[in-house]
Amino acid sequence: MKEFDLIKQFFTNQTVKHKEVKLGIGDDCAVIAPIEKQNIVITTDTLVAGVHFPLNTSPRAIGHKAVAVNLSDIAAMGATPSWISLALTVPSVDEGWLSEFGAGFFELCEFYNVQLIGGDTTQGPLSITITAHGLTPKDSYLTRSGASAGDWLYVTGELGDAALALQHIKGEVELEDSLFSTIRTKLDFPKPRVLAGQVIREYASSAIDISDGLSVDLGHICQASNVGANIVLDALPLSAVLRESLLAEDAVKLALSGGDDYELLFTVSEDNKVGLETALSHAGTPVTCIGQINASQTISTTLNNKAISVNMAGFEHFS
């Protein structure tokens, strides 16, 4: 199968169409009309086989995750995802694999009303690069640099399950089949917090998505905002599976340093705290206050109201 036949068969039958997309797949470039009173936010993420997902990951999960990790970045800016481009490198043309990859890919696109507008395909080791675009009202978006001393630190959902699933796959821990199947969906099919991002845009002072680990990504907020933070370890939202599978200390460490959560980590002032919690409750998004921002320019942790030292290392792309 030739490249353009592959594109036509697997990537041109999407039903989502945006009025601002004047020209999509099929030409040298896509054409997007300017959108009045809107900001366009743009992100690019690459997933490499054996690095960002295990080699035996199903193609449907790979397609889903490739979209999800990009939409998670869009969510962290408080934006609404709109369109994406895809650069897909595959070792060979495997029609069964491509069909399943496309099913996972477009399933999430359809759910979030995202249009694929172009990209590239080539032969080589498996990797997927997506550039995603989102929209926010003019001059209304979240960044990593707005946190101030006294702001409260929040996280959506639960932490550590995806990292635990990966440890099981690598043989580092042994889980019962029922427990593993429960948390593997967190690793293979993460759910980007798109609605939550749009809600917190009206309340939060800073935000980031948790991809490399809570401690590392909190460090990005602290560095960009020139602040420090204290994490209350007792408050970390840990799933029942994580609590049952590991010693308490190991569970906490995994919640701090494990990657692939794709939850939102954000800060909010005292004045906006109640409004934010109410709005997220109405949106059906679970959220937990896990600490507070301070002026120390360092990250500290407490347990039972006492200072405690823990390993804060997370995932690093280059070691």
pLDDT in tens, 124-152: 999 999 999 999 998 899 999 999 999 99
Indicate the average pLDDT of the chain.
92
Q: Would you place residue 88 in the very low, low, confident or very high pLDDT band (cuts 50, 70, 90)?
A: very high
Considering only CA atoms, which of 190, 227, 167, 214 is closest in space to residue 71?
Answer: 190
Q: Which two tokens stand for residue 57?
A: 């990951």
Report residue 115 CA to chain centroid gap: 19
pTM (predicted TM-score): 0.91
Q: Residue 73: what pLDDT?
A: 97
Provide the angle, in degrees to the nearest 10, between the axes of the packed helices 3-11 and 95-111: 40
Give mean pLDDT, residues 213-236: 96
Is 70 exceeded by the pLDDT of residue 311?
no
**Rounded Cα distance, 253 and 301, in Å:** 11
At position 314, the amino acid (one-letter code) is: G
Using DSSP, state whether 228 is helix, strand or coil.
strand
Give the residues across from 41 on adjacent strands.
Answer: 134
- 8, with CB counted inside 10 A (0-12, 13-18, 19+), is middle
Within a 10 A sphere around the Cβ of 270, how many other Cβ atoms?
10
Backbone angles phi, psi at 61, to 5 degrees: -65, -40
CB 84 within 8 A of CB 67: yes
**Rounded Cα distance, 169 and 171, in Å:** 5
